[in-house]
A and B are shown apart, each in its own frame.
Chain A
Amino acid sequence: MKGRLRALPGRLRRRHWYGEGPLHLVLMLASFALTGYAGLRLLAGDRWPLVVVWFVGAALLHDLVLLPLYSLADRAVCAATAGTGRHRAWTGYVRVPAALSALLLLVWFPLIAGSTDAPGGASAAHYTSATGLPGDVFLSRWLLLTAALFAVSAVLLLARTAAPRLRGTAARARRRRATKRRSASSGR
């Protein structure tokens, strides 16, 4: 690799310190110019340090807190529902409804938490006085949706585990009848 670089004409050796092609450099400069122009305006208010905190904090909070948290939660679910010698894993039947419920909670957290006046939520009283709509319904709706998601999952799991067992019982009964017939005919 080094030998090939040395063989390149001087014009191209710029890649050596920049590490990327000219299109890359032009794109980066254009992009940062726009960022600078809009960024100065984004940070023009008195509370600009907080805006920086929100902008960078959103990325850090996601990458270093939210993502590790849901990965660990997922690992715990996998460990608790792993397959054994006798059972197939039923991870998906817990993971899918739990993930969907958590997603709804994440997106609608202000309204759901506001139903109970928990910190971080928009208060139900504020919501109701602004819109004339009841503000305390979102927690119970989310809980009911969560219950419905797990109920559907439970039915599917039941269908998976019970159906073959039922089929197995029926097959065993058929086999028993067939054996009986055979032994009856041979005894004659």
Chain B
Amino acid sequence: MRAHRPPAPASPSFWRSPLRGPRLTALLGVVLLAGITLLFVTGMLSYAAYNPDLAGGVNDQTPGKGLLGFYLFAWPTGPHWLYRVTQGVHVTLGITLVPVLLAKLWSVIPKLFALPPARSVGHALERLSLLLLVGGALFEFLTGILNIQLDYLFPGSFYPLHFYGAWVFIGAFVAHVVLRIPRTVRALRARTEPAADADGTGLVAPEPAPPTVSRRGALWLVGGGALLLLATTAGQSIGGWWRRTALLAPHGGADPGSGPNGFQINKTAAFVGIRPQDTGDDWRLTVEGGGRTVRLSRADLLRLPQHESALPIACVEGWSTDDQPWSGVRLRDLAALVGLGERPPDVLVESLQLHGAFRRAALRANQVRDGRSLLALRVGGAELSADHGYPARIIVPAAPGVLNTKWVSRLTFGGPS
């Protein structure tokens, strides 16, 4: 009777794929080691790029970060495409690694059901750590992939979930890497998978089914999936002609409009509650600082010295635009209007928009002092469109798009008093 019962997942003979083995797992693991390390580094850079430690934490979506912000530094303004590259890599690489992550998890699935559940205290701790590793990886990929598609299903704000989730994950990740490095090196040196009875990892099927694809073929499928995702995504970060190749990416395909204002929009004016009467002739920009206040109409601003900067919009969602030819007033010239032209301090920027976490945002002194940082009034020789921030918007080299505040109403140099 017992002999006829099909094997349970806990039995090694339940797992019959002839592909599984320590060498396959090691190959996928090495790719993930490199890829996830780069994801973590670019993610931490993006966190620093927001300057969360500025102006009492106006930009800070994670005020409780404590020691996790230990490495924060003043985000530089050059090269001007810096954030375009770091965040483009972060998002595009994350999407590209999805098939590798799935294949890696598939390659070790027999271990999930292995009995006994824990051989010792150490083994029990390691399995708990593996739950954090797998749950953490999937949680990070899931929140990131949902966020770039504007599908905010996850329970809470994206920033704390993705940031703290990354730290929970990375602890388990580092432990896993250190513990598995010897086994990985051994498996890669061996050149072939071991026979089931010589395999110490429990991955090689003792009763394999006849193969329907070679190991090399399976790796080609994983690599092909990664390449397909890369090819249909990367264009939204490369821009130009390549954007049309990003067929499934949120900011791929054709640009939303034509002409100088035709480039990609993060949030439209209507979406964040900008009303036409707020941006008409009655609009005034308030510049405050050093105990002085100046109010300027758009005509006043156009009478000030106009400067040009070719700068991109680079979003935390990974997409970006090519350099756009902005023109407007330099931020340091606006600081000079309130007598802070010598050494301009940080600035708090406030927008007319009613919704959005960054309707108040701070820029650091190094960003204000950069001659390319503008309160832009025009782009490509045309007035800004409503969706690109008319009457005036911030544009700063290398800053995340969300800090390039649109529909600016107030600049407070030296931060809120």
Contacts and interface: CB of A to CB of B under 8 A. Distances in A.
| Same complex origin of A and B | yes
Interface string A30-62: 111111011101101101001101111011001
B247 interface: yes
A129 interface: yes
B139 A67 contact: no
Contacts of A141: 247-248
Contact of B68 (A41, A54, A108): A41
A104 interface: yes
A56 B248 CA distance: 29
B123 interface: yes
Nearest to A99: B221
Given A62-B134, A141-B248, A41 B268 contact: no
Interface in B152-182: 153-156, 160-161, 164-165, 167-168, 170-172, 174-175, 178-179
Interface in B176-232: 178-179, 212-213, 217, 221, 224-225, 228-229, 232
A107 interface: yes
A51 B161 contact: yes
B248 A142 contact: yes
B131 A56 contact: yes
Contacts of B109: 63, 67
Interface stretch (A132-140, A155-163, A176-184): A132-140
A145 B229 CA distance: 12
A129 B268 contact: yes
B142 A54 contact: yes
Nearest to B172: A31
Contacts of B119: 19
A107 to B, nearest CB: 6
Interface string B127-159: 001011011101100100110011101111000
B365 interface: no
A31 B129 contact: yes
Nearest to B150: A122
Contact of B178 (A27, A58, A95): A27
Interface residues of B, number: 75
Interface stretch (B250-258, B298-306, B394-402, B404-412): B250-258
B132 A19 contact: no
A88 B225 CA distance: 25
B162 to A, nearest CB: 10
A100 B224 contact: yes
Interface in A141-161: 141-142, 145
Contacts of A173: none
Contact of B212 (A18, A32, A37, A78): A78
A63 B112 contact: yes
B165 A130 contact: no
B248 A55 contact: no
B65 to A, nearest CB: 7
A38 B265 contact: no
B160 A42 contact: yes
Contact of A18 (B65, B121, B131, B175): B121
Interface in B227-265: 228-229, 232, 247-248, 250-251, 253, 256-257, 264-265
A54 B248 contact: no
B67 interface: yes
| B contact patch SS | helix
B270 A129 contact: yes
B13 interface: no
A48 B398 CA distance: 34
Nearest to B9: A68
Contacts of A99: 221, 225
B151 A31 contact: no
A62 B228 contact: no
A151 to B, nearest CB: 15
Contacts of A129: 268, 270-271
Interface string B54-92: 000000001011111000000000000000000000000
Given A41-B65, A42-B161, A28 B122 contact: yes
B123 A20 contact: yes
Given A20-B123, A24-B179, A27-B178, A145 B247 contact: yes
Contacts of B66: 37, 41
Contacts of A42: 160-161, 164-165, 167-168
Contacts of B122: 18-20, 24-25, 28
Given A31-B174, A44-B64, 18 more contacts: A20-B123, A20-B126, A24-B179, A28-B126, A30-B171, A31-B129, A50-B155, A55-B168, A56-B135, A62-B134, A63-B112, A92-B212, A103-B99, A103-B228, A108-B149, A110-B150, A111-B248, A131-B268
29 contacts: A19-B120, A24-B122, A35-B168, A39-B168, A41-B62, A41-B65, A41-B164, A42-B168, A47-B156, A51-B161, A55-B139, A56-B135, A58-B135, A59-B138, A63-B105, A78-B212, A95-B212, A99-B221, A100-B221, A104-B232, A107-B98, A107-B145, A107-B248, A108-B248, A120-B153, A130-B266, A132-B265, A133-B264, A137-B253
Interface of A: 17-20, 23-25, 27-28, 30-35, 37-39, 41-42, 44-45, 47, 50-51, 53-56, 58-59, 62-63, 67, 78, 89, 91-92, 95-96, 99-100, 103-104, 106-108, 110-112, 114, 120-122, 126-127, 129-133, 137-138, 141-142, 145
